[in-house]
Amino acid sequence: VASASEYNADKDFVFKMRKAGKNVVIFYGSQTGTAEDFATRLARDIQSPSVRPLVLDPELYDWQCLAGLGDDELAIFVLATAGEGEPTDNMEAWFNALASDRESPEDSELPEFRQPEDKADFDDSAPLQGVSYAMFGLGNNTYEQFNHHARVVDQRMLALGAARVGERGEGDDDADIEEDFAKWKEATLPAIRKYLGSSTPVGEAAPEATWKIVEVEAKKAWIRGEFYEEDEAVSTFDARHPFSAPVTSALELTPGADRHTLHVEVDLAGSGLRYESGDHIGVYPTNAEEEVDLLLGALGLRGRADTPIAVRAVDPFAAQQSLFPVDTTTYRAAFRHYLEITGPVPRAQIKTLVAPYARSAAARELLGRLADDKDAHAAVVAGGCLSLARLINAVHAAEAAAAEAERLRLPVEAAFELCPRLQARLYSISSSARASPERPSITAVVLQYDARAPAAADAAMGARRCGVATNYLLGAVRYLRGDRAEPLAQPLRAGCVLSEAPAADASAVQPVRDGKGHMLQSFTLQPAPGSACDGRRALSLPVFIRRSLFRLPADAATPIIMVGPGTGLAPMRGFVQERALLARERGVGTTLLFFGARTEANDFMYRGELEECFAEIQKAAPQSRIITAFSRDQPQKIYVQHRLLEHSDLVYQTLLCGQQKLGGPSRAHVYVCGDAKCMAKDVAKALATLIAEREGVAEDVAAKWVSEMRKLSRYQEDVWS
Ligand code: FAD
Ligand code: 2AM
Ligand nearest to the CA of 386: 1
Give residue 219's pLDDT.
56
Give residue 199's pLDDT.
63
Calculate how far, in angstroms, residue 670's C-alpha sits from the geometric centre of ligand 1.
24
* Number of neighbours of residue 93 by Cβ within 10 angstroms: 17
Integer Cα distance of 248 and 260 in angstroms: 19
Calculate how far, in angstroms, residue 141's C-alpha sits from the geometric centre of ligand 2.
20
**Mean pLDDT confidence for 309-325:** 85
> What does the DSSP assignment read for 232-272?
TT--S-SSSS-EEEEEEEEEES-TTSSS-EEEEEE--TTS-
The DSSP letter of residue 86 is B
Q: How confident is the model at residue 209 (pLDDT cuts 50, 70, 90)?
A: confident
Residue 446 pLDDT > 50, yes or no? yes
Active site residues: 428, 673, 718, 720
Q: How confident is the model at residue 106 (pLDDT cuts 50, 70, 90)?
A: low
Residues 555-592 have pLDDT tens digits of 999 999 999 999 999 999 999 999 999 999 999 999 99
Q: How confident is the model at residue 107 (pLDDT cuts 50, 70, 90)?
A: low
Mean pLDDT is lowest, of 43-57, 212-226, 518-532, for: 518-532
Residues 637-655 have pLDDT tens digits of 999 999 999 999 999 999 9
Query: Whose Cα sits closest to atom 30 in ligand 1?
Result: 427
Residues 330-382 have pLDDT tens digits of 898 899 989 999 999 999 999 989 999 999 999 999 999 999 999 999 999 99
Q: How confident is the model at residue 460 (pLDDT cuts 50, 70, 90)?
A: low
Nearest atom of ligand 1 to the alpha carbon of 342: 2
Nearest atom of ligand 2 to the alpha carbon of 568: 5
Give residue 531's pLDDT.
43
Residue 273 pLDDT > 80, yes or no? yes
Residues 382-426 have pLDDT tens digits of 999 999 999 999 999 999 999 999 999 999 999 999 999 999 999
Query: Whose Cα sits closest to atom 36 in ligand 1?
Result: 720
Query: Which has the higher per-residue pLDDT, 463 or 276?
Result: 276
Residues 5-59 have pLDDT tens digits of 678 889 999 999 999 899 999 999 998 889 999 999 999 888 888 899 999 999 9
Give residue 513's pLDDT.
35
Where b means 16+ CB within 10 Å and e means fewer, 512-530 reads beeeeeebbbbbbbbbbee
Share of the chain above pLDDT 90, in %: 66
Calculate how far, in angstroms, residue 404's C-alpha sits from the geometric centre of ligand 1.
39
- Alpha helix ranges (H) inside 547-623: 569-585, 600-603, 607-620
Residue 102 pLDDT > 80, yes or no? no
Select the highest-mean-pLDDT range: 79-83, 388-392, 515-519, 536-540: 388-392
Q: How confident is the model at residue 243 (pLDDT cuts 50, 70, 90)?
A: confident
Closest listed residue to residue 717, CA positions, set 672, 669, 667: 672
Give residue 424's pLDDT.
93
As to burial, measured by CB atoms within 10 angstroms (0-12 exposed, 13-18 middle, 19+ buried), residue 55 is buried
Calculate how far, in angstroms, residue 393's C-alpha sits from the geometric centre of ligand 2.
37
Q: Which residues line ligand 2 (CB under 6 A)?
A: 565-566, 596-598, 631-632, 637, 639-641, 678-679, 682
Q: How confident is the model at residue 499 (pLDDT cuts 50, 70, 90)?
A: very low
Share of the chain above pLDDT 70, in %: 85
Nearest atom of ligand 1 to the alpha carbon of 425: 43
Give residue 496's pLDDT.
30
Give residue 492's pLDDT.
31
**Mean pLDDT confidence for 97-109:** 63
Give residue 110's pLDDT.
74
Task: For the chain, give the mean pLDDT.
Answer: 86
Residue 231 pLDDT > 70, yes or no? no
Query: Which has the higher per-residue pLDDT, 451 or 568?
Result: 568
Mean pLDDT is lowest, of 284-298, 460-474, 632-646, 684-698, for: 460-474
Query: Which has the higher per-residue pLDDT, 82 or 535?
Result: 82
Integer Cα distance of 647 and 686 in angstroms: 11
Query: Which has the higher per-residue pLDDT, 334 or 457?
Result: 334
Calculate how far, in angstroms, residue 639's C-alpha sits from the geometric centre of ligand 2.
6
Residue type, 378: A
Give residue 103's pLDDT.
53
Pocket test for ligand 1, best of 426, 449, 458 (most atoms within 8 A of CB): 426
**Contact between residue 600 and residue 633 where contact means Cβ atoms under 8 Å apart:** yes
Pocket test for ligand 1, best of 176, 287, 425 (most atoms within 8 A of CB): 425
As to burial, measured by CB atoms within 10 angstroms (0-12 exposed, 13-18 middle, 19+ buried), residue 144 is middle
pTM for this structure?
0.85
**Mean pLDDT confidence for 159-178:** 94
Give residue 4's pLDDT.
54
Q: Strand runs (DSSP E) across 314-463, as ranges?
A: 329-330, 425-428, 441-445, 448-450
**Mean pLDDT confidence for 55-78:** 95
Give residue 517's pLDDT.
37
**Mean pLDDT confidence for 316-334:** 84
- Which residues on adjacent β-strands are paired with residue 499? 222
Ligand nearest to the CA of 420: 1
**Mean pLDDT confidence for 129-143:** 94
Residue 518 pLDDT > 60, yes or no? no
Residue type, 73: E
Query: Whose Cα sits closest to atom 22 in ligand 1?
Result: 449
Give residue 528's pLDDT.
43
Query: Which has the higher per-residue pLDDT, 100 or 521?
Result: 100
181's CB contacts (< 8 A; 6+ apart) are 38, 136, 169, 171, 348
